[in-house]
Homo-oligomer: A and B are copies of this chain.
Amino acid sequence: MNFINKLNAAWAANDSLLCVGLDPDMDRLPAQFRGTPDGIYHFCKEIIDATADLACAFKPQIAYFAALGAEGQLERIGAYLRDRHPHIPLILDSKRGDIGATAKQYAREAYDRYGADAVTVSPYMGADSVEPYMEWRDRGVIVLCRTSNQGGSDLQFLEVNGKPLYQHVAQLVADKWNSNGQCALVVGATFPEEIRAVRAIVGEMPLLIPGIGAQGGDIEATVRAGRTDAGAGMMINSSRAILYATPQAGEDFAQAARRVADETRHAINAHR
């Protein structure tokens, strides 16, 4: 089963467009996971088990592992997910971008080492920086298009032939880079009108949408702008709001994460 089919199946099985981001910040982990050699793995494992029936994907952000030299724990997380929840796609958020021979090494890292179903990549270096990933025909490539940060506009909003650059990127991916049907796009939730513009360009292509939760994006506006005719087409990511949910009376961190994930899933579904 390829990435797009697997994602479609997960959307349906869990009735969810929620992507749970795994950004394990050592300063914010519950005390029992801090300072232990495999605390990151066990924390992520508990989050995964608590939310696997509520999510359409899990998205580890590799920077949090790389800063700590914890790549081995990311390998274990990938293996655990494939073993216990094999129907939920794993998206490696690494935003790689390099030329052919080097891009192939990054594809090996994402797909073979971590077992990712899809990986985020930067478009700045062009088609031949993305093509090597396509050799893994059952995997996905999620291209940065419009990002949710303030500085995103510095380049992405520059006008090219009467349109902002990010729309040009969406068009390039839709018309050319997606020839094998393996592509998706990153479009931030902080700009719903821009999600709408991208959806109009790319048809049914899945969108990975960061920026709700801690980053403040509006869920209703996001869903109305990004949904396909079938009421899907999105992986709406929340990381910190779920991972570091404040427990209510009688809850532990994993139950709190489950509660916030389910609330977010319902808030999304209310507008599909």
**Chain A residues close to B by CB (< 8 Å):** 23, 25, 61, 63-64, 66-67, 69, 71-72, 75, 95-103, 105-106, 108-109, 112-113, 122-131, 144, 147-156, 158-161, 165, 168-169, 172
Contacts and interface: CB of A to CB of B under 8 A. Distances in A.
A117 to B, nearest CB: 18
A97 B99 contact: no
B122 A149 contact: no
A155 B161 CA distance: 12
A110 to B, nearest CB: 9
A172 B103 CA distance: 27
Each complex incorporates copies of this chain amounting to 2
Contacts of A105: 61, 63-64, 66-67
A97 B100 contact: no
A25 B67 CA distance: 24
Contact of A126 (B71, B128, B154, B159): B154
Nearest to A69: B113
Contact of A161 (B129, B131, B159): B159
A109 B62 CA distance: 11
A124 B123 contact: yes
A126 B155 contact: yes
B168 A99 contact: no
Nearest to A125: B147
Nearest to A157: B126
Given A105-B63, A147-B125, A168 B158 contact: yes
B165 A151 contact: no
B160 A158 contact: yes
Given A23-B102, A155-B169, 10 more contacts: A66-B113, A95-B122, A97-B97, A97-B144, A99-B151, A123-B124, A123-B155, A127-B154, A128-B149, A165-B165
Contacts of A161: 158-159
Contacts of A156: 124, 126
A42 to B, nearest CB: 20
B124 A150 contact: no
Contact of A98 (B75, B95, B153): B95
Given A98-B63, A124-B122, A165 B155 contact: yes
Given A124-B123, A124-B144, A160-B158, A149 B99 contact: yes
A174 to B, nearest CB: 14
